Chain A
Amino acid sequence: MPAISLAKAPQPAATNPAQIRNFCIIAHIDHGKSTLADRMLGITEVVDARNMRAQYLDRMDIERERGITIKSQAVRLPWRSGIDGQEYILNMIDTPGHVDFTYEVSRSLAACEGAVLLVDCAQGIEAQTLANLYLAMENNLTIIPVLNKIDLPNAQPDKFAAELARLIGCQPEDCLRVSGKTGDGVAELLDQIVAQIPAPVGDANAPARALIFDSVYDSYRGVVTYIRVIDGRINPREQIQMFSTGVRHEALEVGVISPEPVPSKGLGVGEVGYLITGVKDVRQSRVGDTVTNYQNPTKAPLAGYKDPKPMVFSGLFPLDGADFPLLRDALDKLQLNDAALVYEPESSAALGFGFRCGFLGLLHMEIVRERLERESGISLISTAPNVVYRVTLEDGKEFVVTNPSEFPDGKINSVKEPIVKCTILAPSEYIGTIMELCQERRGTMQGMDYISEDRVEIRYTLPLAEIVFDFFDQLKSRTKGYASLDYEELGDEEGNLVKVDILLQGEAVDAFSAIVHRDKAYSYGVMMTGKLRELIPRQQFEVPIQAAIGSRIIARESIRAIRKDVLAKCYGGDISRKRKLLEKQKEGKKRMKMVGRVEVPQEAFVAALATDADIEKIKAARKQD
């Protein structure tokens, strides 16, 4: 029986580094990482069968529902090797699986000596997994290739073993074959983790250095910081210091997760666990930062720390203006747990008061919005996502533009936009479709390789702005869901970009201004003016709707003046009815937004910005009213 009881297992702060193995699992959403983790918890008996539940480690509902692990965690698993019969401690560090969280992934990888590359052998490797694999290889991690879901009837383990072997330079027969569902091969995998992954190496006598690879806000405990000790020891009740901020805290509690938190006497070299200091805000405990001892600090922090950098900005507005304070509270609360989220109040003539928010990427934006709506019950509308532009005027003045309303007037010398390197993995039959899409989105092809006989890796550089719009949805729908995408920043490039304003009766409506490529300005203008013409009710005068670049009109529509708004009859019995209707309309008028003299129901603005998914949500909310 390879499992060891917890009480008899090597204890935290008293474990020889030679007995420790730190690993993570690199996998795509749906490739079975959480199920495999569940199986490992079961087979090592840290969770007994009675307490087991599916996807044990994914704490938040939203993660479980979307099959995405946003916050990584580290679990201490005792294991007796079936090969040498010795006791070991395996620390499994869970990694986020999405493109927006590359930095967090890189910090998780930095806490490990090895990685399990887990691939669904009915689907093959996906672009983000490949990107994370490369990241792990750059970090010199030992890679253990594993094919999962071998129990599936459509499994093709031989085909994908060859694919993995080619990617990491091993033999196809080196790929382990497991089923997270049935548990087949999981014990062998744990044995191979022990056998192949090197033990951590560190100096127990040097000043303490520990890497923060995650931090999570807990409403009872405050921030829980996940750390990997490199050198020295982290002990409870000692003063610790965060290297980047210089902030000093007391380590109120130190412990390991197994898989519930268990306080310990400390954490030694190579160990992975948690630290609680009582701080209330994850920004004080930043991923990638180095924790050291305040009395005996290290002089050299661990390499690789970066401040989170928002890449995509969008305005978030409550549908009901009265919910603004609620939205502010909800954002404040969310930020406690999300160091990458930035926001500041914004006011829009069309949408009222809201917040300009910065996100790591599209998924991050979606998750934040969904969590805000779910946790605070507020219905939100968001403006089109915007990347960070650097605008230089002819007089040399420079502007950083994260919102079209900040786009400067005056003679523009250049506009720079962020460019990303984009990797797409797909069956080879979709090469033409994908190239067409990338071409439409101003992409430049960088190369293409076959990763197996019928699957290709296509590389493009693309402006990030083109990706944040609906690139991913388009890619998925045009390839029947088979293509996967990963992208990474590549710096800024000058683009022929202009700001298109949408004017109602000569007045610009802020929420609809957009920064677009000059070639696409016209189609954006035609689309938006057409949409608004349908949505804005007729007024007592004709209302021109124009799209303009500066003072030049590029598209025009008009809402013809209303001709008739009267009930012809008004006799005895009609009077009460009509007055009641009027009273209702007076209330409705209060919810109208005025753009100059044009009266626009807020619904019209919302509908013009909404995606199809938004419209469904709004309808559902209305039904409840």
Chain B
Amino acid sequence: MLSFYVHIPYCIKRCGYCDFNTYTPNELQDGASLEIVSNDYIDAVLLELDAAPLDEVPTIFFGGGTPSLLPAKDLGRVIAAIKARNGITADCEITLEANPDSVTEEKLQGYLEAGFNRISFGMQSAQPHVLAVLDRTHNPANVKRAVDMARAAGFKSISVDLIYGTPGESLEDCRATVTEALSLDIDHISAYALIVETGTKLAAQIKRGDLTMPIDDLMADMYLLVDQMCNQAGLNWYELSNWAKPGHECQHNIAYWKSANWWGLGPGAHSHVDKKRFWNVKHPTAYKQKLFAKESPVAESENLTDEQLRDEAIMLAIRMRTGLALSSLSKQGQDNLQAYVATGHVEILDSQIQLTAQGRLIADRLVREALG
């Protein structure tokens, strides 16, 4: 099996907190439109695809950037090519990340026809003042409209992404956002604590003192609130930052967390095939140049040692509800984690280690403990 990630490195505007590998058309070429900068992008992606193994494909995920900026027919070329050369499973999950502002009934219909069956909207918050700090342009009301349109068009699985812990966001703001999200006709929520990445506009604003990050305790309370509200609404946690109705868990992301094989197409995209990780050159122009010159776009790669594979497997599995077999840990690691049972961070059921909500909040520490 081989999952595919397809990176679409374009946005109309860069949000203040974002450090993803994405570019506005203007950044790539003065005064150019999206059509101009992206016109041969899919050609380059299809050239890269030639190098991928031919295993059958259980999931495809289009992320970005803003994949929904590109027309369905462009994205559809990639899906069609994968189908043709690898074949896809009968229940293959094909996800589109979408901006609620940039979808129309017509476009959504097109995506469905191109093969998409799951859509994930960047909602982030229901509170205008929070969205303003995040530099998001969408009107909160558009999210409901977009979700309803997607459902009407026939998407089987609909998700929203939320961000909590934005400067100026209160616990009540967070509650209002989750309440609003849960009132939508959705099957899945991803909720992430805001991370201030160096080099972003947000980082500069914080450094200058214009904005202040909430303290960790408030972030923790927000996480517990999201978890509690989602679980009560029938969206169960299945990974640290993800909640879903039964059967709607994101299979693509689960592939990451289970250390499955996947191939990332596009600039800066990472791949993992067997014991090797590799990633492409970051800039879209460099990426295109390499491929059109018949060169490999891979920038760097690493062959994982058994110890690294084991560490990664523990680091990823511990984040999931399915948890970690006690027997997969060293004696020291087992003893270390046992100590967290009493503190309410860890549960051990049938020799399987699972994190409680409190434990998920300190998952990175628990990973260090688990590794002994």
Contacts and interface: CB of A to CB of B under 8 A. Distances in A.
Interface of A: 540-541, 561-573, 575-576, 578-579, 582-583, 585-586, 589, 597
Given A572-B270, A573-B279, A582-B311, A567 B339 contact: no
B129 to A, nearest CB: 22
A294 B126 CA distance: 99
Interface residues of B, number: 44
A540 B342 CA distance: 11
B270 A565 contact: no
Given A566-B240, A597-B339, A573 B193 contact: no
A597 B308 CA distance: 27
Contacts of A561: 343
B229 interface: no
A568 B5 contact: no
12 contacts: A541-B343, A562-B365, A564-B220, A566-B362, A566-B364, A570-B256, A572-B270, A573-B264, A573-B268, A573-B269, A575-B277, A582-B371
Contacts of B223: 564
Given A562-B216, A582-B371, 10 more contacts: A541-B343, A562-B365, A564-B220, A564-B362, A571-B253, A572-B256, A575-B277, A576-B279, A582-B368, A583-B311
A575 B364 CA distance: 13
Contacts of A576: 270, 277, 279, 302
Contacts of B371: 582, 586
A566 B192 CA distance: 11
Chain A to chain B: the 4 pairs with minimum beta-carbon distance, closest first? A563-B220, A568-B192, A566-B363, A573-B270
Contact of B315 (A562, A568, A579, A589): A579
Interface string B244-262: 0000000001001100001
Given A572-B256, A582-B311, A582-B367, A540 B340 contact: yes
A564 B5 CA distance: 30
A564 B345 CA distance: 12
Interface in B173-213: 191-193, 195
Contact of A540 (B193, B240, B316, B345): B345
Given A563-B217, A563-B361, A575 B270 contact: yes
A564 B223 CA distance: 10
Contacts of B268: 573
B272 A575 contact: yes
Contacts, number: 96
B158 interface: no
B82 interface: no
B288 interface: no
A570 B319 contact: yes
Contacts of B269: 572-573
Given A562-B362, A564-B219, A597-B339, A575 B192 contact: no
Contacts of B262: 572
Contacts of B302: 576
A585 B372 CA distance: 12
Given A573-B270, A582-B311, A567 B195 contact: yes
Contact of A564 (B216, B264, B315): B216
A589 B364 CA distance: 13
B312 interface: yes
Contact of B368 (A564, A573, A586): A586
A570 B316 contact: yes
B316 A575 contact: yes
A569 B364 CA distance: 11
A582 B365 CA distance: 10
Contact of A569 (B241, B311, B340, B345): B241
B360 interface: yes
A125 to B, nearest CB: 54
Contacts of A589: 368
A567 B364 CA distance: 7
Contacts of B340: 540
A561 B216 CA distance: 11
Interface string B62-106: 000000000000000000000000000000000000000000000
Contacts of A579: 308, 311-312, 315
Given A572-B264, A575-B312, A565 B277 contact: no
B300 to A, nearest CB: 9
A566 B279 CA distance: 24
A585 B339 CA distance: 20
Contact of B362 (A540, A569, A585): A540
Contacts of B362: 540, 562-566
A564 B277 contact: no
Interface in B320-372: 339-340, 343, 345, 360-365, 367-368, 371
Nearest to A562: B362
A413 B270 CA distance: 73
A594 B212 CA distance: 34
Contacts of A575: 256, 270, 272, 277, 312, 315-316
A540 B308 contact: no
A541 B346 CA distance: 13
A579 B371 CA distance: 12
B316 A566 contact: no
Contacts of A567: 195, 364
A472 B175 CA distance: 59
Contacts of A566: 240, 360-365
A356 to B, nearest CB: 34
B368 A569 contact: no
Contacts of B241: 568-569
A565 B364 contact: yes
Contacts of A582: 311, 315, 364, 367-368, 371
Contacts of A541: 343
Which of B191, B345, B367 has the most A CB atoms < 10 Å from its CB?
A: B367
A578 B312 CA distance: 9
